[in-house]
Amino acid sequence: MRVMSKRHSVSLQFKISSIYILTNLLVMIVNIVLLIGINNMSGRLDMVYQDNLHLNELSDALGVVQDNMTDYLNAKTTDSLEDYYRSEQDYRTMMADLNEQITGVPFDRMERNIRNMSEYYLEEVGQTIEAKRGRNVEKYRIHYEKATQMYEYTAAYITNLNLEKFRSNSERYSDLLKRFKLFESTSLVAIILVMASNACIIIRFVGTIISPLKKLAGSANEVAKGNFDIELLPVESEDEVGVVTGAFNSMVVSISRYIERIRESMEAERALKERELLMEAHLKDARLKYLQAQINPHFLFNTLNAGAQLAMMEGADRTYEYVQKVAQFYRYNMKKSEETVTIADEIEMVDYYIYILNVRFAGDIHYEKHIDQSLLAVEMPGMILQPIVENCVNHGIHEMGSEGNICLSIYYKGEKVCISVKDNGVGMSEETIHKVMSGTYREDNMAAGSNGIGMDNVISRMKLFTGSEDVMVIRSEGQDKGTEVCLYL
């Protein structure tokens, strides 16, 4: 494993260089081996006839000794004597190389014989020269004849050895040639093998280097097509390819995360826009309904104002106040229904409404307010409270027949502002409450005095305004036990 990890941690450059060096090394080793072999063989081919050359030299040297002796015997010159001594010395030097042991090799024994015969011959020659110097004619003749005879034998022996060696060397030469041919074919096979080995090594190593690149390319293509759901590539090595693979992996991860984030924010934006549009739609709807209900609010308002002035001029103060408040109520309805208002505005609106109703129905509605003064400035959508109160009056108190109580409380509940409208009317069944809350309850006949804004509209606008689902709770303890509607801001 350690080796593996070590191998995996080396760089691409190192890997490629290694392959190059390895294959070259292989080629070099085989080449060196072959070169040594060829060199060795050619050297030996050169050496084959070396023996014959030596023997030729030996033979020549022997001839020179004989010639010099003859010269001296002929002319007895100092030069020829000197030549003789020199040639004798030369010949002795050459003789020293000859074998002197008795072995099983015929050539060795022949060399030994030649050596001994040469000694014998040189002795005879020496005696001849000695006798010549002593002018002993008879003696030097005898020695000369013996020496000459010995020269002939020795020369013949050398020639024989030379011939024998030549024959054996020729055989060896052809044997060597055969071996050389064999070596050639062996070399060829070796070179082919090396080539095959190198090819295999290169294919193998390049394969290992290229395969992660191929995978990377495949993955990149997938990504280019837009498919980010690809399996992350395994980082097999820590070389440059490994680094690129790692970078690619993290890039794919980052891109997909980024895309996810963009998608989320777009989703949020879309929801926001949708809510705005919805709110607008509801408002428009409320206003439409209002306009349907109020044929001409301005005209009505001006008419009421004219009526109020007439009452004042006639000294009917209560009529004046009533007409005035009705006019205020409609003005508010006309003005505030489209915008965000404060709780105080809404309370005032409810006040007007209750007053009008009490005038209408001769004051049979008792109206209480428990208001946290600090909450008066809190904003809320307009035209919310009045419809609720209207519902209380129309469905709770009217149907009861007796004296109705409406209690409006505004207070903190937890972090939220709670606006509670409570009546002592007929109450609501659970089913009705559920229908109202889910917006499926429909009033078939709009009660008189209603401004036409339904509870579903109220709930929707509250939801849009707060951005929360829990905007309204309707509680009723049962038949004739009243109803409490709580709004949470």
Q: Does 458 bind other proteins (CB under 8 A)?
A: no
Residue 97 CA to residue 117 CA, distance in Å, equals 15
Q: Select from 207, 218, 363, 439 the one that contacts other proteins (CB under 8 A).
A: 207
**Is 269 within 8 Å of 40 (Cβ atoms)?**
no
Q: Does 186 bind other proteins (CB under 8 A)?
A: yes
Helix, strand, or coil (residue 135): coil
**Contact region with other proteins (CB under 8 A), list: 56-64, 148-156, 265-273, 387-395:** 148-156
Quote the tokens at residue 21: 């060096």
Report 99-118 residues binding other proteins (CB under 8 A): 101-106, 108-110, 112-114, 116-117
Q: Select from 10, 12, 37, 452 the one that contacts other proteins (CB under 8 A).
A: 37
Quote the tokens at residue 69: 């002796």
Q: Does 193 bind other proteins (CB under 8 A)?
A: yes
Size of residue set near other proteins by CB under 8 A: 52
Residue 262 CA to residue 267 CA, distance in Å, equals 8
Q: Which residues contact 481 (CB under 8 A, 6 or more apart)?
A: 424, 427
**Shortest distance, position 203 Cβ to other proteins, whole Å:** 6
Q: Give the nearer residue to other proteins in terms of CB position, either 139 or 360.
A: 139
Q: Give the nearer residue to other proteins in terms of CB position, either 121 or 290.
A: 121
H or E element: which one contains 406? strand 404-413
Q: Select from 72, 84, 91, 121 the one that contacts other proteins (CB under 8 A).
A: 121
Report 276-305 residues binding other proteins (CB under 8 A): none
**Contact region with other proteins (CB under 8 A), list: 128-136, 149-157, 286-294, 464-472:** 149-157
Q: Give the nearer residue to other proteins in terms of CB position, either 164 or 364.
A: 164
Q: Select from 61, 129, 194, 397 the one that contacts other proteins (CB under 8 A).
A: 194
Residue 423 CA to residue 408 CA, distance in Å, equals 9
**Contact region with other proteins (CB under 8 A), list: 24-32, 81-89, 350-358, 376-384:** 24-32
**Shortest distance, position 32 Cβ to other proteins, whole Å:** 9
Q: Select from 85, 173, 183, 228 the one that contacts other proteins (CB under 8 A).
A: 183
Cβ-defined contacts of 19-27 (< 8 Å, 24+): 19/201, 19/202, 19/205, 19/206, 22/201, 23/198, 23/201, 23/202, 26/194, 26/197, 26/198, 26/201, 27/194, 27/198
Residue 370 CA to residue 410 CA, distance in Å, equals 6
Which positions from 59 to 98 touch other proteins by CB under 8 A, shown as an x/- string?
----------------------------------------
* HSE, side-chain direction, 13 A CA sphere, residue 44: 15
Q: Give the nearer residue to other proteins in terms of CB position, either 136 or 160.
A: 160
Q: Does 26 bind other proteins (CB under 8 A)?
A: yes
Q: Give the nearer residue to other proteins in terms of CB position, either 128 or 460.
A: 128
- Distances in whole angstroms, Cα of residue 342 to Cα of each of 72, 171, 285, 331, 370: 159, 130, 22, 16, 17
Q: Select from 21, 25, 28, 33 the one that contacts other proteins (CB under 8 A).
A: 33
**Contact region with other proteins (CB under 8 A), list: 10-18, 198-206, 381-389, 421-429:** 198-206
Q: By CB neighbour count within 10 A (0-12 exposed, 13-18 middle, 19+ buried), where does 6 fall?
A: exposed
Q: Select from 48, 98, 125, 150 the one that contacts other proteins (CB under 8 A).
A: 150
**Phi and psi at residue 48, to the nearest 5°:** -55, -45
Q: Does 40 bind other proteins (CB under 8 A)?
A: yes
**Shortest distance, position 199 Cβ to other proteins, whole Å:** 8
Q: Please tell me the total number of residues recorded for the chain in this structure.
A: 489
**Shortest distance, position 15 Cβ to other proteins, whole Å:** 15
Helices (H), 294-342: 297-314, 317-336
Residue 474 CA to residue 345 CA, distance in Å, equals 23
Among 200, 190, 262, 249, residue whose Cα is nearest residue 37: 190
**Shortest distance, position 213 Cβ to other proteins, whole Å:** 15
DSSP 393: I
Residue 452 CA to residue 333 CA, distance in Å, equals 11
**Contact region with other proteins (CB under 8 A), list: 187-195, 284-292, 308-316, 444-452:** 187-195
**Contact region with other proteins (CB under 8 A), list: 130-138, 184-192, 278-286, 478-486:** 184-192
Q: Whose structure tokens read 């826009």?
A: 273
Q: What residue ranges bind other proteins (CB under 8 A)?
A: 26, 29-30, 33-34, 37, 40-41, 44, 101-106, 108-110, 112-114, 116-117, 119-121, 149-150, 153-154, 156-157, 160, 164, 176, 179, 182-183, 186-187, 189-190, 193-194, 196-197, 200-201, 203-204, 207-208
